[in-house]
Amino acid sequence: MSCRVIVLLGPPGAGKGTQAKRLANKLDYAHVSTGDILRDAVRRDTELGKKVGQIMAAGELVPDQLMSQVVQESLSRQQSRGVILDGFPRTVNQADYLDQVLGNKKICAVNIEVEEEQLVKRLTGRRSCSGCGRIYNVFFSPPGREGICDQCGSPLIQRPDDRDEVVRERLRVYRNQTEPVIRYYQQQEAYSSLDGSREIDSVFGDLYRIVTNQACDQASPHP
């Protein structure tokens, strides 16, 4: 691994996935989402999927050892100039592990902050089209006809871990196990935070400025 690594931090529902995709496109970096990797394994019913399905449905964290393997495999396959990590690290152990894998290379970490009340609405209201994948929110951007995609007419579905009681558990797990990771990166040079409660474009503007500014850019390896 000789490429640059940007870590996006923030609670579930902060918009890490949305911002990571845009940033990866703009910088021509790879987007590594551990949640997406795990969901794909569950869908394909692989060995990994069998191990993590129930844990994810309950809103708990997959054990560190298993996650470290998943990330190590994914990073070792990357050929790009840079990687955006979305959803990893989620525990201090995982952050330690990442430091070990990357050697003395610095990481640029950006924390996307959103208040809990808004997170609950974003997550419990989120629906996706079972046909074309378009994302809706029943509170902020509902479809014209309830439960039906405006674009292709297919039924809308809810991620099992976006149900109310699971969302509350995910946020509890975040406070207990993932917030310490923010303190871990705060002690390092290339750490920033931004207000993720605004429009997607404004958040992206800030994020882009941060990752291309000097402190963060110096976290990239020099040839």
Alpha helical stretches, state H, the chain? 16-27, 34-44, 47-57, 64-77, 92-102, 116-124, 164-173, 179-186, 200-212, 214-217
Answer for which of 3, 62, 92, 148 binds ligand AMP (CB under 6 A) is: 62
The active-site residue, picked from 39, 159, 168, 198, is 159
Q: Minimum Å distance from CB 22 to ligand AMP?
A: 17
Name the region of 103 (left: φ>0; alpha: ψ -120 to 50; beta: rest). left
- Stretch binding ligand AMP (CB under 6 A), from 75-83, 86-94, 143-151, 205-213: 86-94
> Taking CA 204 as the corner, what is the angle to CA 163 and CA 22, rounded to the nearest 5 degrees?
75
- Alpha carbons 16 and 111: distance in angstroms, whole number: 9
31-50: contacts with ligand AMP (CB under 6 A): 34-35, 38
- Alpha carbons 210 and 213: distance in angstroms, whole number: 5
Size of the site for ligand AMP (CB under 6 A): 17
- Alpha carbons 7 and 63: distance in angstroms, whole number: 20
Position of minimal CB gap to ligand AMP: 35
Verify whether residue 183 is a known catalytic residue: no
Q: Minimum Å distance from CB 213 to ligand AMP?
A: 26
One-letter identity of residue 29? Y
183-212: contacts with ligand AMP (CB under 6 A): none
Verify whether residue 105 is a known catalytic residue: no
Binding residues vs ligand AMP (CB under 6 A): 12, 34-35, 38, 55-56, 59-62, 67, 87-88, 90, 94, 161, 170
